Amino acid sequence: MGCFFSRRRKPAQGGQLPLQQQAGAGQDAAAGEQKAPQYSWDLRAKIDPKDYTFSGLKNETVGRLPGKVAGQQFVIQDCENCKIYIFDHSATITIDDCVNCQIFLGPIKGSVFFRDCKDCKCVVACQQFRTRDCRKLEVFLCCATQPIIESSTAMKFGCFQYYYPELALQFKDAGLSIFNNTWSNIHDFTPVSGENNWGLLPETAVVQDYVPLPSSEELKAVRVSTDATKSIIPITRGRRQKNSDESCLAVFFAGDYTTANARKLIDEMTSKGFQLVQTKEVLMKAEDAHRVFQQSALEFIPLLEKGPVVALEFNGDGAVEQCRSTINEVFSGTKVFVSESKASASQDVDNFYNFADMQMGM
């Protein structure tokens, strides 16, 4: 970091300061004796690392309520047989040498890093997810980028499912989109030939069976629901095998009700038995629109300036017809791109998600 030097003013003849400066210097000295200057950093509340650390705990239930972490870093280490709940957003979290713990971590703006942990069950939302030297972690995950495991075995993943009233705002504060979740797209940094170090949790897996609701009086004040239908994050199939060879792409454009409209379409389609495969929120440019929307591009290009689009892929026999019908009935006043036919739909899905993956560096 560079240093800044002020040019010294030459003293008046005889080595004396000019009279005005002498007077000013005298006043400054007097003021200095009376009261030291205050700087903005002196007025800030002092951060005590102990408030942002759980260390060396055994057989305990501990946590932080909404508003108590407020974007700070957090450390969890050397805990055994503990239930740990961070009901707030944070900058980064490291979890080291924990055994047989059940952990909930609210939205993390940066990375969460598990090291040397085993037999833990977790619910995690983050920008980046990484493990090293871990064994038998079962994780309900929301991750904006590709999750990475390294020197880790017997890892199992499911889609994040959780709700409490403050959670949506915490996702915003952490800069995470509820539609960007690559929970099942795991990259194994240290694969072993003939072995698979990770897999997916059963579709029927229920969060509460893995990470139970908090039982302490303080933490029960957070009104948690693990009901999948209330989850802040839409539940997606991810990399699980699709039930049908027919998918449909629907894309909502930025506006006051984009999130609400996307959630409404998800509810309508899933209630009719169609499955939500994947979702994405991403900025598009005119050239991207031509690549993805092809002949319809000119109709949608003016809408791209308002902000990111939200795309949904539904799967199931008759998905295109049902999706088009629902959009006509429920969203008649809203411009939505939707696949025109079963024949074009698979190309629509590939075009959009290939573009989105490149945009997000996947």
In angstroms, the CA 193 to CA 186 distance is 17
Asked whether residue 110 is marked as a ligand-binding residue, the answer is yes
| Run of H or E including 240 | none
Contacts of 217 (CB under 8 A, 6+ apart): none
Q: What is the DSSP letter of 30?
A: H
Cα gap 260→314, rounded to integer Å: 17
In sequence order, what are the residues at sequence separation of 6 or more whose Cβ sits closer than 8 angstroms to the Cβ of residue 227?
163
**Dihedral angle at the C-alpha atoms of 303, 309, 315, 319, nearest 10 degrees?**
-20
Q: Is 128 known as a binding-site position? A: yes
CA distance 280 to 358: 12
Q: Extract the tokens encoding 236.
A: 């997606």
15 is an annotated ligand-binding site residue: no
Distance CA 171, CA 280 (A): 15
Residue 150: strand, helix, or coil: strand
Residues 98 and 120: beta-carbon distance below 8 Å: yes
Q: What distance in Å separates the CA atoms of residue 73 and residue 89, rounded to the nearest whole number?
A: 9
Q: Is 322 annotated as a binding residue?
A: no
Distance CA 32, CA 172 (A): 45
Residue with tokens 């650390």: 53
Cβ 278 vs Cβ 362: under 8 Å: no
Whole-angstrom distance, CA of residue 299 vs CA of residue 39: 55
Q: Do residues 56 and 101 touch, judged by C-beta distance below 8 A?
A: no
Query: Nearest to residue 139, comparing CAs of 174, 109, 166, 114?
Result: 114
Is 130 assigned a ligand-binding role in the annotation? Answer: yes
For residue 98, the one-letter residue type is C
* Spatial separation of the C-alpha atoms in residues 349 and 281, rounded to whole Å: 14
111 marked as part of a ligand binding site = yes
**Which residues participate in the annotated binding site?**
110-111, 127-130
**Which residues participate in the annotated binding site for GTP?**
110-111, 127-130
